[in-house]
Amino acid sequence: MDYYFVFGLAAVALSFISYIPYVYHLFKNKTKPHIFSWFLWGLLSGIAFLAQINENAGPGSWVVGFTTAVCFFIAVVSYVKWKRYYITKFDWVCFIAAIFGVVLWIITDNALNAVIVVSVVDALAFVPTFRKTFINPNEETVITFVFSAITMALSLAALENFNLTTALYPASLVFTNILFVLMVLARRKKERTNFK
């Protein structure tokens, strides 16, 4: 058993564990995900997963494939439970720009271009969730985003073929998830201070 397999398996196992509190809070109405972000994350991680497979990423791609399925599941549940919750004109702009990025990738038909576009568009897809959570910092399960950063770091270690095409997307997710967690914690601290 090589270490790529171990890191790939560890990333998927940790990712699975990290989504348990999120899904639990989702069904208890404590977490209210933004449908646009989760749908786009599913679409984008699916594209990144296919690009990684195409570039022989090996076990390092497993967690991205797993994440794809979970993101689509959360998007569907979010739609069923809240439909238009927190959707603003700005969210629509982000959503349309993200879809445009996917179309741009299809036109270019290049794996590296796909990953660059997907990484940028994924960050753009984070904006509706970032905005919603900035206003209501207690409506997200922050531990899931902490674990997401960790699992993507593990997936980087599990890449059999480490290059810009295979590594950029998970590296960008490490960065955006850490940034999101820091924002949520700062906003929660400020709210606690305001209530004193």
Report pLDDT for 85.
Answer: 60
DSSP 110: -
Report pLDDT for 178.
Answer: 97
**Cβ–Cβ under 8 Å, residues 32 and 85:** yes
What proportion of the chain, given as a percentage, has pLDDT over 90? 28
| Local structure of 174: helix, strand or coil | helix
The band of 59, judged by pLDDT with boundaries at 50, 70 and 90, is: confident
Rounded CA-CA distance 92/196 in Å is 37
pLDDT in tens, 108-124: 777 787 778 878 888 88
Report pLDDT for 195.
Answer: 65
Cα dist from 121 to 48, 65, 109, 168, whole Å: 11, 18, 16, 13
Rounded CA-CA distance 70/73 in Å is 5
Report pLDDT for 196.
Answer: 59
Q: Any residues with CB less than 8 A from the CB of 22 and at least 6 apart, and which?
A: 31, 74, 141, 143, 144
Indicate the helix (H) or strand (E) that contains 56: none
**Cβ–Cβ under 8 Å, residues 143 and 21:** yes
Mean of the per-residue pLDDT values for the chain? 85
pLDDT in tens, 67-112: 999 999 999 998 888 765 667 777 777 778 777 767 776 777 777 8
pLDDT in tens, 152-178: 898 898 888 888 888 998 899 999 999
Report pLDDT for 101.
Answer: 67
Q: CA torsion 46→100→84→90, rounded to 10°?
A: 130
Rounded CA-CA distance 33/69 in Å is 16
Report pLDDT for 142.
Answer: 92
Domain boundaries, the chain: 3-195
pTM for the whole structure: 0.76
Report pLDDT for 84.
Answer: 57
Given a cut of 70, whether residue 53 has pLDDT beyond it is yes
Report pLDDT for 186.
Answer: 95
